[in-house]
Structure 1
Amino acid sequence: MELVEWIRQPWEWYVAGPMISVVMFLLLYFGKEFGVSGNLRTMCSIVGAGKVNEFFRFDWKGQVWNLVFVLGGLIGGYIAKTYLTASEAVGISEATIEQLKLLGIENPGATYLPASIFSWESLATPKYALMLVVGGALVGFGTRYAGGCTSGHAISGLSNLQWPSMVAVVGFFIGGLLMTHFILPYLLTV
C-alpha cells in the first residue's frame, strides 16, 4: 500500500493511541492539563470579561498554549478533511442505515454529517434551530457543571487518575446512550 493511501485510511488504534499518550506525557511533564472547554474562559478573559465577572479573573496568559493547541486541531481537521479523506462516505452497517432511514435521515452514511440535519436549510427550520440552541445550552451547562468537557475529563483527567473525571466520563456515556436511543429518535420523528 502506498504511503498516501495509508495516510488516507483511518488510523488503527495502535497508531492513534500511542500518539495521544505521547501528547499526554508531554502535558504531564510540563505541568499542563488538556481540555478544550477552558478555552472559552480564556478567550472571554482576553477580551476583558474579568471586569464583569470574578470567574474570568485569572492569569489567562498561562493558557495561551491551549488556544494554540485548539488552533492546531482546527488546522489539522481542515487538512485531514481536504487532503487526506478518501471519500465523503462513512462506513456504517446496513442495520444502522435502515434505522436512520426510519428516523427520516436521508442518505445515511453518504456524508459524514447528514445534510437533512446539519445544513443551513435545516437550521432555518424551527425544529432543528431549537434542537441546536437547546442542545448547545445543555452542553455548555453540563461542561461548566462537570468542571470540564469530554476531552479534558476522558483524556487528561483519567490519565491523571482523577475520581471526578471518572464520574464525569461515566455520566457522559450514560447521557450519550440515553440521547441516542431514546431522546433523539423521538425528536427526529416528531
Structure 2
Amino acid sequence: MNWIYDPWPWYVAGPLIAFTMFILLLAGKQFGMSSNLRTACSAMGAGKAADFFKFDWKAERWNLMLVAGAVIGGFIASNYMSDNIVEINPEVAQQLATDYQIESAGESYLPTELFSTAALSNPFTIIILLLGGLMVGFGARYAGGCTSGHAISGLSNLQLPSLIAVIGFFIGGLVMIHLIFPLIF
C-alpha cells in the first residue's frame, strides 16, 4: 500500500482528473469550490437577506458533499498519510531563511513563522490575512469562479472566459510573488 502514501505522478493524476471531468460533463454538472459558498449560504437562509441567495440550493447539494469530501480527505491525508514536509529546492529554502526569516521552509508543510498561533498575535499578520481573504473572495466572485472552477472545469469545457480568467490568475500570481510579496515582507 505504499502507492497511496506517495505523490501520484502526473500521468496517473491527470487522466483521473480528466475522467472525473468527463463524468461531471455527462451528468450536466460543473466542478468548482467557490460556488459552494453561495449554496451553503442559501441553505442557511441567506435568501431572506439577499436575492442572490434565492435559488434551489437542494439541486446543488451534491457539490456540498464534494467540499465535505475535500475537507475530510485533506484532514486524513495530512494527519495520517503524510509527514507534512514539502520538498523544496534547498536554494529556495536558504533564500526564505535569509531574506524573510522563514527558518522552517522545507521542514513543514505550513511554515510556523507564518501559520502558528504565535504568528496570529501580530496585528500585521491578521491584517494581511483579512485583506488577502477579502481579495480572494472578491476575485473569485468577480471572475465568476475560483481557480479550480475555471482551470479544471471551465478549460475542460473549452470556455473562453475561463481561459482569460486562468491567464489573469497566473499574471496576478507572478505580480504578487515577484513585486508585492517582497514589499510586504
Counterpart of 2:84 in structure 1 is: 88
Partner letter of residue 5 of structure 1?
N
Report matched runs for 1:57-68 at 5 Å. Answer: 57-68=54-65
Partner residue in 1 for 2:127: 130
Give the total of aligned pairs: 184
For residue 47 of structure 1, report the CA deviation from its aligned partner: 1.2
Aligned partner of residue 112 in structure 2, secondary structure: coil
Percent identity, aligned pairs only, is: 55
Counterparts of residues 1-190 of structure 1 (less than 5 Å): 4-85=1-82, 87-101=83-97, 102-188=99-185
29-38 or 74-83: which moved more? 74-83
1-side partners of 2:178 and 2:6: how far apart?
A: 29
RMSD, aligned α-carbons:
1.0
My pick for the range that moved more, 122-131 or 76-85, is 76-85
Give structure 1 stretches of 5+ with no counterpart.
none
Which has the larger displacement, 12-21 or 132-141? 12-21
The secondary structure found in structure 1 opposite 2:180 is: helix
Residue 33 of structure 1 deviates from its aligned partner by 0.4
Q: How many Å separate the matches in 2 of 1:185 and 1:45?
A: 39
Q: Secondary structure at the match of 1:130?
A: helix
Q: Runs of 5+ in structure 2 lacking a partner?
A: none
Task: After TM superposition, give the deviation of residue 178 of structure 1 in Å.
Answer: 1.0
Q: Deviations over 1:135-181 (max 9, x none)?
A: 00000110110000001000000000000000100011111111111
SS of the residue 1:111 aligns to: coil
2: CA distance between counterparts of 1:58 and 1:141? 21
Tell me the SS of whatever aligns to 1:44: helix
* 1:42-79 C-alpha deviation (Å, 9 max, x unpaired): 11111111111111111111110000011111111112
Counterpart Cα distance in 1 of 2:121 and 2:162:
37
Equivalent-residue separation in structure 2 for 1:120 and 1:133 (angstroms): 16
Moved more, 49-58 or 131-140: 49-58
**Aligned AA for 2:38?**
R
CA-CA distance at 1:81 after TM superposition: 1.2
Aligned-residue offset at 1:5 = 2.4
* Cα distance in structure 1, aligned partners of 2:3 and 2:53: 45
